[in-house]
Structure 1
Amino acid sequence: MTQAAQSPVQLSNLNLNALNKRFDKASPREILSWCVENIPTGFVQTSAFNVDDMVITDILYRDLQPNPPVPVLFLDTLHHFPESLELVSKAKAVYGLDLHTFKVPDVNSEEEFAAKYGEALWDTDVAQFHHLTKIEPLVRGLTELKAVAWITGRRRDQAVTRADMPVFEFDANGRMKVNPLASWTRKESWAYVYEHDTMYNPLHDEGYPSIGDRPLTTKVGEGEDERAGRWRGSEKTECGIHI
């Protein structure tokens, strides 16, 4: 599918209430199709390569196939599980991703990061750790990619803090944030994966329903919230990107 040769919508002039009412229960494909047709440039997927992100990538790259493809922005925090990095490499090869990786400037490994910013910064100052590894690289990445709208893999059922999340919203910098899986459940995401044989991180099969940085991610027990393994033992529910 080639992106429509039409004048892009003026995002700042959109009636978000009407748009959200229209798409509140729409399928992720319907939401992404509207975006591809109406935001032909500056539309970016941000991905941590969790299962929900892979569903979105599969819809964009296997199903919709916009031309040019939607850029995929990945944050290399230097603290990922090896399995996560292996999935990034595999997905890039299989889908032919237009992949753009952003990280902390001037450091290229976990060891270099510790030498510059201190050992186990996630324990001593987790807010600073997330600013350095996620928030600043994300803002820089969206700016360099000239993003006017960006996709997240969030769902309302992931956490109480996301229960009222709309499909479309504006971030603090005036960019549209699109949450195509907002109304889906975890079960629906996995049903999509099984139906379309979508690749996913093998750690999902080992008790990690939500996968972040290795030092800050633990397995989730039976009956726990799927994000209970993120920042375990603290009151954090978000890294700061979506606040």
Structure 2
Amino acid sequence: MPLDAHALVAARAATLNADLVGSGPQAMLDRTLRDARLGDIALVSSFGAESVVLLHMVAQVDRATPILFLETGMLFAETLAYQRQVADDLGLTDIRVIRPDNTDLFLHDPEGDLHGRDPDTCCAIRKTKPLELALQEFDGWITGRKRHQTEDRADLVPFEVEVGKLRINPLADWTPADIAAHIDAHDLPRHPLVAQGFASLGCAPCTTKVAPGEDPRAGRWRGRQKTECGIHFAGGRVWPTAPRG
């Protein structure tokens, strides 16, 4: 992206952060989805443990907002059913199911066991690459990231720039208590696996239950140093090449 174009997006992010400080996530989404100057915006949603809050807020502004859902081929059956339920309950009309490239799966994960051998590459071909390709037609995207989730997110701001696009984090300063209160206040459906002890949900092979008092993300890639799948990191990645025979 030309420097002047990147500077324009950065200036818009700074203006939005200043204008909307303390305004709350619903006001941020109203501005984001109604301001034509910001271009085409999508919401990236996992339809996980806390996703219904942001989906509900977006539905209050525009039910036709594009929702990008990464169907990695390894999600819990409950997540797939929940995605359909929530979309129907909220009247969301533009759910775009994003899947990994079949050639990448054939070349790098023909047996479906890459997650155990090389989880970073597995996430790259099943999540990061498909999402980056899907986002090419958009000027920005909305995420459900929150400061309390990981150390990498501790300094999260509501509006930022990622690979030349606007990235919006309306729930940056929300806590688990805020999430629960919103779900209760609006009688929103909870992901069925939350009641079974899953506090943060990803692909089934890489997600476990958490014990009472344990960090909610402790069940993601348990036993590894890995804490992120990579979809929220800066661009410039090198994708895996075809294995040598």
* TM-score range relative to shorter protein: 0.7 to 0.9
CA distance in 2, matches of 1:121, 1:80: 15
User: Does the residue aligned with 2:218 lie in a helix, a strand or coil?
Assistant: coil
Note if 1:169 corresponds to 2:160. yes
Residue matched to 1:60: 58
**Structure 2 residue aligned with 1:160, among 147, 151, 155?**
151
SS in 1 for 2:68: strand
Q: 1:133 aligns with which of 122, 126, 139?
A: 126
Which aligned segments of 4 or more residues in structure 1 are displaced greater than 6 angstroms?
Answer: 112-115
Report the AA paired with residue 198 of structure 1.
L
The answer to whether structure 1 residue 23 and structure 2 residue 20 are counterparts is yes
Q: Using the TM superposition, give the Cα deviation of residue 11 of structure 1 relative to its aligned residue in structure 2, in angstroms.
A: 5.5
| In 2, Cα distance between equivalents of 1:24 and 1:216 | 36
**2:90 maps to 1:102:** no
CA contact (8 A) 1:211 1:217 kept: yes
Work out the number of aligned pairs and report it: 224
Stretches of structure 1 that go unaligned for 5 or more consecutive residues are 1-9
Query: Whole-Å Cα distance in 2 between the matches of residues 123 and 157 of structure 1?
Result: 27
Q: Pick from 215, 220, 223 the counterpart of residue 205 of structure 2.
A: 215
Distance (whole Å) between structure 2 residues aligned to residue 13 and residue 238 of structure 1 = 24
Structure 2 residue aligned with 1:38, among 21, 28, 35?
A: 35
TM-score (normalizing by structure 1): 0.85
Displacement, 1:134?
Answer: 0.1
Which amino acid letter does the alignment assign opposite residue 124 of structure 1? R
- In the alignment, what sits opposite 1:180? 170
What is the aligned partner in structure 1 of residue 194 from structure 2? Answer: 204
Cα deviation, 1:106-150, whole Å, max 9, x if unaligned, reads 37xxxx86995334101111111001100111011112xx11010
CA displacement, residues 47-87 of structure 1 (integer Å, 9 cap, x when unaligned) = 001243211111121x2236xx2100001000001110001
> Can you give the 5+ residue segments of structure 2 that lack an aligned partner in the other structure?
1-6, 234-245
Supply the AA of the counterpart residue of 1:94: D
Query: Structure 2: how far apart are the matches of 1:11 and 1:209?
Result: 38
For 1:228, the equivalent position in structure 2 comes to 218
Q: CA RMSD in A?
A: 2.2
Q: Cα deviations across residues 171-230 of structure 1 (Å, max 9, x unaligned)?
A: 12x111100000111110110000001122111121111100000001111221111110
Percent of matched pairs sharing the same residue? 33
Identify if the C-alpha distance between structure 1 residues 227 and 51 changes in structure 2 by more than 3 Å, giving closer, same or farther.
same
Query: When the two structures are superposed, what TM-score results if normalisation uses the length of structure 2?
Result: 0.84
How far apart, in 2, do the equivalents of 1:36 and 1:161 lie?
A: 27
